[in-house]
Structure 1
Amino acid sequence: MPSITKTAHFTCSAFVTALSVGVMGFSMSTEWAQTSMECASGGSGFFNGTAVITLELFAGNLNRSFCPLFGSIDSFKVIPKLIEIGATPVALHAIVLCLLALCLLFSAGSILLGLYNSVSNPYETYMGPMGVYVCSSLSACLSVVVLVVFLVNVSVTDLAEDLVETFSGSIAVDLKNKTSKMRLGYYLIIPYTVLSIAALALIYMYDHAAYKHRQEQQRPTEDAPKEIMMY
């Protein structure tokens, strides 16, 4: 059976990782970004309209005012609409979803390994602390990549402009002054990253202390008193 110290560290690590999964689950169910633009119809150059796009990971809505005609609110499914738009936005969005799925997968692995190590003493293989290191570090790193890729897709590509044009039908629209704001779902990935690192740190603290203890138990003979070495 593992020591109380080991059980406590690995159990706490599993709990912290489970908490991070809950944070990410809520993040994936709420708004990630909102983009606003000024709008003019028919190439008139008179920008008296606005378009506001609110994006979640799987759904979104477009709130238009005189863009190109009177106001309306249109809801849409993100993935089918991005497929309609073109290759780059849908590819980046698919990367975000795949990375989030991998984050959850590695977090699940970290939880299982943490619980397994809290009740047993596996060898120093991927089933021991090394496995938690790998799973938690990959979760943290991939979540940072998610933040970067999603920000690029919303702010750098023409995703928002193309969405407005698909809802405008045959009427041409001119768009300018695009401003994007990240919403709660996007920012919740940051505490997920922090919690993943915290879970890793808990295991490192135990592993480092265990290593020092092993070193103390295996002192070289030259450090022993001369009286003992005589025998």
Structure 2
Amino acid sequence: MEGVVWGFEVAANDLSATANEAAKQKLRWERVADYPASSPIKESLFVLDPDGNTVELCIRKQPADIAPQQGTTPLRRISHVRVEVTDLDLARSWYGKTFGMVEADQVPAEDQLTLTVPKSQQLVILRKVAQVAERSMQCFKGPHIDLRSSEKCYPEILKRFDRKETYWGPEPDLIPWHEPDSNTAYGYDPFGNRIQIGIIAKRPMHFGEVSRFADRANS
């Protein structure tokens, strides 16, 4: 397990069927079913995708009240994200002050700290390492951390997000062309993990050219 790991909540009593499907697909996987009683996660299945990214499928002890998708592995939502850091105290302070995360029920492990998003009960699991994986720190090289808020809360979070990325050109704060609007920003945490923040979408994402960039290209 290297770099940022997204954990997806599965609507099931256990992950036996998911493990069987992973074996059938000849994927590399590892099942963890011995979390202590205090853990908010009941069971996990870690799967390595073809690009070397780790994906975690899990069962939460208190399932989200969201209808699952249909399919062999009925997913409810993103449950948590595992993030590598080199200093747990700094990580606790920065993620808490910037995004309002709090310490609650822990997913126990050595050199690990779990923070909770109070409203959604989604988790950020911080794991201390000697060096953060390169794939977490660069564009297009691995999964990044994507945090979404309400439209009301976003301006204040944007102010507190003190490690924003800027871009070359005459308008360095202009977002990349592939984003649908200006309510998003990219940056990094104190350890170099790439982060995207934005507003919870109320409409489908756009694909292809975004009009304001297309107009500029044609001018």
TM-score band w.r.t. shorter chain: under 0.3
For the pair shown, which has the larger CA radius of gyration, 1 or 2? 1
TM-score (norm 2): 0.22
Give 1 or 2: higher helix fraction. 1
Give 1 or 2: higher strand fraction. 2
Q: Which structure carries more relative contact order (alpha carbon 8 Å, separation 6+)?
A: 1
TM-score (norm 1): 0.21
